[in-house]
Amino acid sequence: MSLNLRAEVLLKTLIERYIADGQPVGSRTLARQAGLELSPATVRNIMADLEELGLVSSPHTSAGRVPTELGYRVFVDTLLKVRPLDSSEVRKLKGELMTPQDTEHLIGSASQIMSKISKLAGIVMVPRRDEKAAFRHIDFIGLSGQRILVILVTDDGSVHNRIISADRKYSPSELEQAANYFNDAYAGISLGKVKRMLLNEIQQAGEDMQRIVHLAVHMARQAIDGEREETEDLVVSGESNLMEIPDLGDIHKLRKLFDAFNTKRDLLHLLDQSMRAGGVKIFIGSEAGYEVLEDCSVVTAPYSADGEVVGTLGVIGPTRMAYEHVIPVVDITARLLSAALSLQGSESGHLETPRQ
């Protein structure tokens, strides 16, 4: 892909222009806009070259050129200069994310603020650190019948609750004993480890363990197992912004996209991919491999808590989006969210004696 300087400049101006107003751009316009002293005819020759390389295409014979996905790819990879964020926007971001709030709200705020600033849809994967987060506290509370409410608190300050059915009814004091046993025995241990320990305990001990211990172990196991599903989740905001974008005018495609927002599976998978690579990543149109994302691009960045990557967030919009603006928004949101989450982690696991 060796483009000479002139061709690069022209491709860049073409894409910028096209992003700005969505019209195919012709040789005359391009010649004037590019700042090079070239005639439209010369530009036409170069456009023919670019078309051969698969970087641009024309919707029909007499309609100017439009970037292809490959064209966008080259653009974002080599030609794009991201412009630093407006200080007012940075302030907005900080204001939204630096106020203390629990993880759930934080995620929601991040998603919303991204969608508000970019005028597109914001997506945030909920953090996946259950396996690593340390167990902090558990509570068993009896409901009607044999149902028991289990509240599980991890070291990072997140709370999960779940209703399970027990084998019989338990008295409040039995439940309290069970909780005490569990809190004493497992405080400070990572959830992943707790899970393995529970499995062992169940297999080995068989019937001869104390009733209370038995109860605690089984209930906790159900609660921790249940977490897995719940945590595979995604927060989407500002979907409706996408409805005003003429590029996505096809109601049918739009509907499929919205369904994807609700199903979440595909998007989660996509976000999962970009968890590994550090920094901002961009998926253009069909690159992502999902049909629903046709004509869409996704700009993602991983975020971390306490120095470890725990999730991904991003913005989703039409392929024709203002990348130079969206990229820094996603980037900075990821950084701010990381900071907020790291602040939030409990110190007590390391610095203080675990609560008993």
Partner DNA sequence: CTTTAGCACTCCCTGTGGTAGAGTGCCAAG
Partner DNA sequence: CTTGGCACTCTACCACAGGGAGTGCTAAAG
Number of residues that bind DNA (CB under 7 A): 25
Tokens 């369904």 sit on residue: 259
Neighbours of 157 (CB within 10 A): 15
Give the span between the Cα atoms of 245 and 236, in whole angstroms.
17
Report the residue count for the chain: 356
Which partner, DNA, a second copy, none, binds residue 149 by CB below 5 to 8 Å per kind?
A: a second copy
Beta bridge partners of 309: 304
Q: Indicate the burial class of 5 (C-beta count within 10 angstroms; 0-12, 13-18, 19 or more).
A: exposed
Q: Which of 2, 61, 144, 204 binds a second copy (CB under 8 A)?
A: 144
Q: Which of 153, 293, 330, 334 binds a second copy (CB under 8 A)?
A: 153
**Under rule CB under 8 A, residue 239 binds a second copy:** yes
At 284, the amino acid letter reads I
Q: Are 13 and 28 in contact (CB under 8 A)?
A: no
Taking residues 325 to 344 in sequence order and writing x for each that binds a second copy by CB under 8 A, - otherwise, the string is ------------------xx
Closer residue to DNA, CB minimum distance, 47 or 236:
47
Closer residue to DNA, CB minimum distance, 58 or 180:
58
Number of residues that bind a second copy (CB under 8 A): 51
Q: Indicate the burial class of 255 (C-beta count within 10 angstroms; 0-12, 13-18, 19 or more).
A: exposed
**Under rule CB under 7 A, residue 44 binds DNA:** yes
Q: Which of 102, 225, 291, 308 binds a second copy (CB under 8 A)?
A: 102
- CA of 278: how far to CAs of 51, 68, 335, in Å? 33, 26, 12
Tokens 């003429």 sit on residue: 246
Residue ranges in contact with DNA by CB under 7 A = 6, 24-29, 37-42, 44-45, 47-48, 51, 58, 60-65
Residue ranges in contact with a second copy by CB under 8 A = 100-102, 136-137, 139, 141-145, 147, 149, 151, 153, 157, 159, 161-163, 165, 171-173, 175-176, 237-240, 243-244, 249, 251-252, 254-255, 258-259, 261-262, 343-348, 352-355
